[in-house]
Amino acid sequence: MHLIERIDRWGRETPDRVAHISGERSLTYGELCARSDRLAASLEQEMGDNRSPIAVIGHKEPEMLIAFLAAVKSGRPYVPIDNSLPGHRIDSIMFTADSPITLTPLRVADTAGDPGAVSCRRVEGDDPFYVIFTSGSTGEPKGVVITLANLTAFVDWMLGEQRFAESTEIFLNQAPFSFDLSVMDLYLSLVTGGTLFSVNKDDIANLKSLYEKFTRSEITTWVSTPSFAQMCLIERGFQQAMLPRLRRFLFCGETLASETAAQLLDRFPEAEVWNTYGPTEATVATSSIRIDQEIIAKHSPLPVGYAMPGTQLLICDEHGSPLASGERGELVIAGPNVSPGYLRRPDLTDRAFSSRDGQRAYRTGDWARERDGLFFCEGRMDGQIKLYGYRIELGDLEANLRALSEIADAVALPVEKGGKVDSLVAFVILREEKTGSDFQMGAHLKAKLGELLPAYMLPRKFHFLDAFPMTPNGKADRRALAELV
Q: Give 222-272 as a 3 state SS string.
A: EEECHHHHHHHCCCCCCCCCCCCCCCEEEECCCCCCHHHHHHHHHHCCCCE
Q: How far apart are CA 279 and CA 262, in angstroms?
A: 25
**CA quadruple 113, 117, 122, 128: dihedral positive or negative?**
negative
What is the pLDDT tens value at each position of the chain, 485 positions in all? 999 999 999 999 999 999 999 999 999 999 999 999 999 999 999 999 999 999 999 999 999 999 999 999 999 999 999 998 878 789 989 999 999 999 999 999 998 777 776 678 999 999 999 999 987 544 578 999 999 999 999 999 999 999 999 999 999 999 999 999 999 999 999 999 999 999 998 998 888 999 999 999 999 999 999 989 999 998 999 999 999 999 999 999 888 989 899 999 999 999 999 999 999 999 999 999 999 999 999 998 899 999 999 999 999 999 999 999 999 999 999 999 999 999 999 999 999 999 999 999 999 999 999 999 999 998 788 777 878 767 687 888 998 899 899 999 999 999 987 667 889 999 999 998 888 899 999 999 999 999 888 787 899 999 999 999 988 888 899 989 998 87
Give the other-Cβ count within 10 Å of 355's Cβ: 10
Is 366 within 8 Å of 330 (Cβ atoms)? yes
Q: What pLDDT is attached to residue 139? A: 52
Q: What pLDDT is attached to residue 227? A: 85
Is 32 within 8 Å of 57 (Cβ atoms)? no
Q: How far apart are CA 207 and CA 235, in angstroms?
A: 9
Specify the DSSP element, H or E, that contains 306: strand 306-307
Give the other-Cβ count within 10 Å of 269's Cβ: 9
Q: How far apart are CA 52 and CA 76, in angstroms?
A: 6
Q: How far apart are CA 324 and CA 371, in angstroms?
A: 9
Q: What is the torsion angle, in degrees rounded to the nearest 10, for the CA atoms of residue 158, residue 78, residue 32 and residue 39?
A: -160
Give the other-Cβ count within 10 Å of 124's Cβ: 14
Q: What are phi and psi of 105, to 5 degrees?
A: -55, -40
DSSP lists the bridge partners of residue 331 as 315
Q: Which domains does the chain have, with CATH numbers?
A: 3-224 (3.40.50.12780), 383-484 (3.30.300.30)
Q: What pLDDT is attached to residue 136? A: 57
CA distance to 142, 143, 283, 284, per residue, from 345 (Å): 8, 8, 18, 21
Q: What pLDDT is attached to residue 380? A: 81
Is 132 within 8 Å of 77 (Cβ atoms)? no
